């Protein structure tokens, strides 16, 4: 894929790149920091989702220090893309990193023939709901007890415009 250039922190550039094996531990730690223990993945769970045949992982890295700022795991199921998770470290939020990761994943899903993207997010995750709505996602339905039978999820979806 092409390297997407962007900036965070008033000028520090970052790029979106493919996941490399050595990133795994860092990605898992970021996921632990991003979510309550009830929602965060164990290492085997995260590895399971990342290794699925139609899944891919993209990483946002600070260009100077190669520090990982965030990542996205997505996959294609039939004709629909699915965002498994998107996580940006706290210091790098509201600087466009999540937007760049989501745009790169959507592009890749579109290229592989997906006509829509779907995802689940916790009903109380206001930041994520606002983020996805700003990116054109709408609430499709609510799934009761999606997280550990305790917390409801919103299923959000967005059609992918054909690039033809
Ligand atoms: C959701 C998340 C990925 C957004 O990443 P980000 O890099 O901060 O997003 P961006 O800077 O690209 O934000 C783009 C737009 O989304 C909206 N947005 C993002 N975070 C928001 C927040 N906390 N409150 C309100 N709107 C928000 C804004 O419209 C923002 O544009 P603006 O900053 O110019 O107003 C990030 O908050 C995160 O990692 N959260 C923890 C993990 C998580 O909940 N992931 C989603 C799981 S489903």
Q: What is the pLDDT of residue 32?
A: 97
pTM, entire model = 0.94
For residue range 83-119, list pLDDT tens digits in order: 999 999 999 999 999 999 999 999 999 999 999 999 9
Q: Across the strands, what pairs with 138?
A: 157
Q: How far is CA 39 from CA 33, 60, 149, in A?
A: 11, 22, 11
Using alpha carbons only, how large is the chain's radius of gyration in Å?
15
For residue range 93-102, list pLDDT tens digits in order: 999 999 999 9
Q: Which residues of the chain have pLDDT under 50?
A: 1-3
| 24-34 vs 43-51: helix crossing angle, rounded to 10 | 120
Q: Which atom of ligand 1 is nearest to the CA of 88?
A: 39
Q: Which atom of ligand 1 is nearest to the CA of 100?
A: 12
Q: What is the pLDDT of residue 160?
A: 95
Q: What is the pLDDT of residue 143?
A: 97
Is the minimum distance from the CB of 106 to ligand 1 under 6 angstroms?
A: no
Q: Are the C-beta atoms of 107 and 143 separated by less than 8 Å?
A: no
Alpha helices in 7-111 (DSSP H): 24-34, 43-51, 97-111
- Centre of ligand 1 from the C-alpha of residue 117, in Å: 18
Domains in the chain, please, with CATH? Answer: 4-115 (3.40.630.30)
Is the minimum distance from the CB of 97 to ligand 1 under 6 angstroms?
A: yes
Q: Are the C-beta atoms of 154 and 129 separated by less than 8 Å?
A: yes
């Amino acid at each position: 894929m092409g390297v997407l250039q962007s900036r965070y922190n008033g000028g520090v550039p970052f790029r979106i790149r493919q996941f490399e094996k050595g990133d795994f531990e860092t990605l898992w730690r970021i996921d632990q920091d991003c979510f309550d223990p009830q929602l965060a993945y164990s290492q085997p769970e995260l590895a399971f989702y990342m290794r699925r045949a139609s899944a891919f992982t993209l990483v946002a890295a600070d260009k100077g220090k190669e520090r990982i700022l965030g990542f996205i795991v997505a996959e294609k199921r039939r004709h629909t893309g699915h965002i498994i998770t998107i996580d940006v470290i706290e210091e790098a939020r509201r600087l466009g990193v999540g937007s760049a990761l989501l745009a790169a994943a959507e592009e890749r899903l579109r290229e592989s023939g997906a006509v829509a993207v779907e995802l689940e997010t916790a009903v109380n995750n206001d930041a994520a709901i606002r983020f996805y709505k700003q990116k054109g996602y709408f609430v499709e339905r609510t799934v009761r007890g999606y997280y550990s039978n305790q917390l409801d999820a919103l299923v959000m979806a967005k059609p992918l415009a054909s690039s033809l």
